[in-house]
Structure 1
Amino acid sequence: MEKRKYNKVKDSQSQKERGEVVIIMKNISDLIEGYLKQVIELGGKGHIEIKRSELADMFQCVPSQINYVINTRFTVERGYLVESKRGGGGYIRIFRVKPSSKVELIENIIKQIEKGATQNMAEDIIYRLLDEGVITDREATIMLAAIDRNTLKLQLPARDELRAAILTSMLLTLKYEK
């Protein structure tokens, strides 16, 4: 399971406010993800347009590594939309989707998981709730434990359906709290 260092991200807030790009994660995928998120945030437009090959050159990795990061870290569950065009003039656009309210965010998530939620999908949703300030680090830890495949010892698809039901119940509780 992916572990995040949210307290370190919060500590770097003053550096972000000064316009500095702060990269504090450890592996190449984390570095690329952190860089892209900070560029989106610092750009002020809520989106970026990049060329896969240029980003690969910047991080001295293969373009498929960029694809991996975009496909796994910039998902709908995490609050992003991605569009791409391949070829010589190709690009990748990453849009940050910001809900107008906590209630709208929760309602959208509940719709996404109506038919079930995989482990990765549920984790992405919890990380998004944390990133959006809807839940605390402690609440995220508890939620992650409750939806983990080691906790829900059922066969698929029952496990994904139960995970979605548990997550929906938690979300409904959050929706109505102040």
Structure 2
Amino acid sequence: MVERDLIRTAQPRVDGFGAELFSTKFDKQYKSRDCTQGCERAIRTIELAKRARNVKFSLQESSQKDLIARIYQLLSKSSNLPAKEKEPTLHEMQYNANWLIDPESTIGDVWYKIHHSFQNRPKWLDPYAVIMCLATQTFKSEDANQINQVLFALVFLPRVTEIRLPVTDTYHLYQGYCFKHNKIRSLVASQVRILEECPET
């Protein structure tokens, strides 16, 4: 475009000083990138912001079958997820570029805090800050929109917010959620005592 501009502005120049460079052969018809063209992410973001502003107690779309597995995968990326019952700091909740560059890691680190905060003090975060955070999180790849809907539910749907989290200091979600029979047998075996050693005998 710089080269085209140099050529186009050569018209009023004097011969020998650029006038001979004038040409229209590099001109092209550029498509507008404004709101006249559809953008699914922008439409999705605007719709969610409106729902958050008007507090509509419903989701934009139905949840997918693999939603639970995806949420678990998101939270299990950390080897030890701290279960701290305190509100996220404003720095953690800033809707900056990290929410777009690496949204899953950013959200996963504060997920428990967000759930706990909205469960115990629903108005802990300014409503417009909530809208901006959700809107920023929505304006990313479409395949992560399901996770953002869960965040929306944690904020605005009481039946989701009221779900109690297990009381513990740390979640070791990386170990999976399926029973490991060998591990169970090992734990049981470590506590088994011969009958003669039992206090009841």
* TM-score, structure 1 normalization: 0.30
* TM-score, structure 2 normalization: 0.28
Greater relative contact order (Cα < 8 A, sep 6+): 2
**Quick check: which has more Rg, 1 or 2?**
2
Tell me which protein shows more strand as a share of its residues. Answer: 1
